[in-house]
Amino acid sequence: MEQDLILAGRVLSFAASPFDAGGVAAAVEDHEALAISAGKIAAVGSLAALTAARPEAPVIDHGDRLILPGFVDAHAHYPQTAIIASWGKRLIDWLNTYTFPEEMRFGEAGYAEEIAARYLDLTAACGTTTMASYCTIHPESVEALFTAAQARGQRVVAGKTCMDRNAPEGLRDTAQSAYDDSAALLHRWHGVDRISYAITPRFSPTSTPEQLEALGALWAEHPDCLMQTHLSEQLDEIEWMHQLFPDARDYLDSYETFGLLREGAVFGHAIHLQPREKDRLREVGASLVHCPTSNTFIGSGLFDMGGLMAAGHRIGLATDTGGGSSFSMLRTMAAAYEVAQLKGTALHASQLLWLATQGAATALHLEDKVGNLAAGMEADLVVLDLASTPAIAQRASRATDLWEAVFPTIMMGDDRAIAEVRIAGRKVV
């Protein structure tokens, strides 16, 4: 059993969402220290109280650094690690030109293991401690990510990506094999240590109605799993979906018809939504995941954070690696700020931090485990240096409050701002 530990610094925790009516002051609490015991947060509070209760525990003093929940990336494609930042294409061409050839390689277990390790190293360096990742159609790609995450004690959600049409030979399964392989992986991994399985049809255009129906049936048999897919990312994609599903009222209907819409559904992008789609998504409590660096990089459009939050949607934040152009949730928060500005909403620093932690955790139905620093939560955390470069330091030095001090790091920070990362209490960076 690892020894208890106390971390002192500026510990931020969420009493509520800073998007809720009470505003920032009611939502965010500022503590002096937190105590870690057996991989969990034992307490947050004053340093004197925590040390008095644990006189034997060593204290690591982070001074005026910020101690936050580890970042949660609610939508990523770890197999796209090596093709991140590929030039010049929009969604469908980008998939065909860069993504599908790379994903083809993951039938080889050794390659999948190499990229899974590289991906977990790169994301940990950016302070990301939990992610929901797509894999490829190959069960080997799922085994590789789960095995690597398990060895690191890391909480991960992932699933075999299912595609049985409109993908090249060698990157297609069938309705039956998608069901069988997904079921076998789910039985082997779901709920093991910190691993969760998510049923993962890539998106309607690459699945036949038979495959979506089979995956809907699998989800009905395993209602505690998440189901993740893509929704209304680009206008061309929506038009293509309508050709492939002529009876669908809208994009969401191509999932709804096959039992793939309810609470626990996690939809990436959700940019070009019809009024009926917004109403249904909110009614059932499905999750929307905003992927801002991807949406600008692939030229998809502007997510309506202000409008969708005000309407009461469940929303998380994500990189969408490698359609997204960064592994960093700091860079992703900056992009979310910029996209919201273009839609007429200025997101507060507390709202950006919430989206990248508790918001993303809530989108993945993990909010009772990660995404906050409170007694009983898993001890995944990140320590931010708010003066990590000369440019950031000179701006932060003028700050008159915490939020003004942290905002330059959100907008300009990168992995140099990540002073320490802990997963289940264990220091990994």
151 contacts 116 by C-beta, under 8 angstroms: no
Phi, psi at 46, each rounded to 5°: -80, 150
Give which of ligand GUN, Zn ion, none residue 361 binds (C-beta under 5 to 8 Å, depending on kind).
none
Q: Does 294 bind ligand GUN (CB under 6 A)?
A: yes
Residues sharing a CB contact under 8 Å with residue 425, sequence separation 6 or more, in sequence order: 2, 5, 36, 37, 38, 39, 40, 379
Give which of Zn ion, ligand GUN, none residue 203 binds (C-beta under 5 to 8 Å, depending on kind).
ligand GUN
Q: Report, in Å, the least distance between residue 187 CB and ligand GUN.
A: 26
Q: Report, in Å, the least distance between residue 352 CB and ligand GUN.
A: 21
Smaller CB separation from ligand GUN, 92 or 125:
92
Q: Report, in Å, the least distance between residue 160 CB and Zn ion.
A: 15
What does the alpha-carbon distance between residue 127 and residue 419 come to, in Å, rounded to a whole number? Answer: 9
Using CB under 6 A as the criterion, what x/- string covers residues 308-327 for binding ligand GUN? ------------x--x----
Q: Report, in Å, the least distance between residue 336 CB and ligand GUN.
A: 16
Residue showing the smallest CB distance to ligand GUN in the complex:
323
Residues sharing a CB contact under 8 Å with residue 35, sequence separation 6 or more, in sequence order: 4, 5, 6, 41, 42, 43, 44, 50, 53, 54, 57
| Interface segment toward ligand GUN; rule CB under 6 A; list 91-99, 371-379, 382-390, 411-419 | 91-99
3-state secondary structure of 257: coil
Q: Which residues bind Zn ion (CB under 5 A)?
A: 268, 320
Cβ neighbours, 10 Å, residue 101: 14
Strand ranges, E, within 257-369: 265-269, 287-290, 314-317
Q: Does 99 bind ligand GUN (CB under 6 A)?
A: yes
Smaller CB separation from Zn ion, 356 or 392:
356
Give which of Zn ion, ligand GUN, none residue 155 binds (C-beta under 5 to 8 Å, depending on kind).
none
* Cβ burial, residue 21 (10 Å; 0-12/13-18/19+): exposed
Choosing from 203, 267, 354, 407, the residue that interacts with ligand GUN (CB under 6 A) is 203
Give which of ligand GUN, Zn ion, none residue 294 binds (C-beta under 5 to 8 Å, depending on kind).
ligand GUN
Q: Does 233 bind ligand GUN (CB under 6 A)?
A: yes
Looking at this protein, which amino acid is placed at residue 199? Answer: I
Q: Report, in Å, the least distance between residue 298 CB and ligand GUN.
A: 6
Using CB under 6 A as the criterion, what x/- string covers residues 12-51 for binding ligand GUN? ----------------------------------------
What does the alpha-carbon distance between residue 146 and residue 56 come to, in Å, rounded to a whole number? Answer: 36
Give which of Zn ion, ligand GUN, none residue 218 binds (C-beta under 5 to 8 Å, depending on kind).
none
394 contacts 381 by C-beta, under 8 angstroms: no
Q: Report, in Å, the least distance between residue 43 CB and Zn ion.
A: 38
172 contacts 138 by C-beta, under 8 angstroms: no
Q: Report, in Å, the least distance between residue 57 CB and Zn ion.
A: 42
Phi, psi at 199, each rounded to 5°: -65, 130
Smaller CB separation from ligand GUN, 216 or 323:
323
Give which of Zn ion, ligand GUN, none residue 233 binds (C-beta under 5 to 8 Å, depending on kind).
ligand GUN
What does the alpha-carbon distance between residue 158 and residue 134 come to, in Å, rounded to a whole number? Answer: 6
Residue 194 β-bridge partners:
none
Q: Does 253 bind ligand GUN (CB under 6 A)?
A: no
Give which of Zn ion, ligand GUN, none residue 81 binds (C-beta under 5 to 8 Å, depending on kind).
none
Q: What is the CA radius of gyration of the chain?
A: 21
DSSP 3: P
Q: Report, in Å, the least distance between residue 374 CB and Zn ion.
A: 30
What does the alpha-carbon distance between residue 48 and residue 298 come to, in Å, rounded to a whole number? Answer: 50
Residues sharing a CB contact under 8 Å with residue 413, sequence separation 6 or more, in sequence order: 330, 384, 388, 389, 392
Tokens of 328: 């960093």
Binding site for ligand GUN (CB under 6 A): 77, 91, 95, 99, 202-203, 230, 233, 294, 298, 320, 323
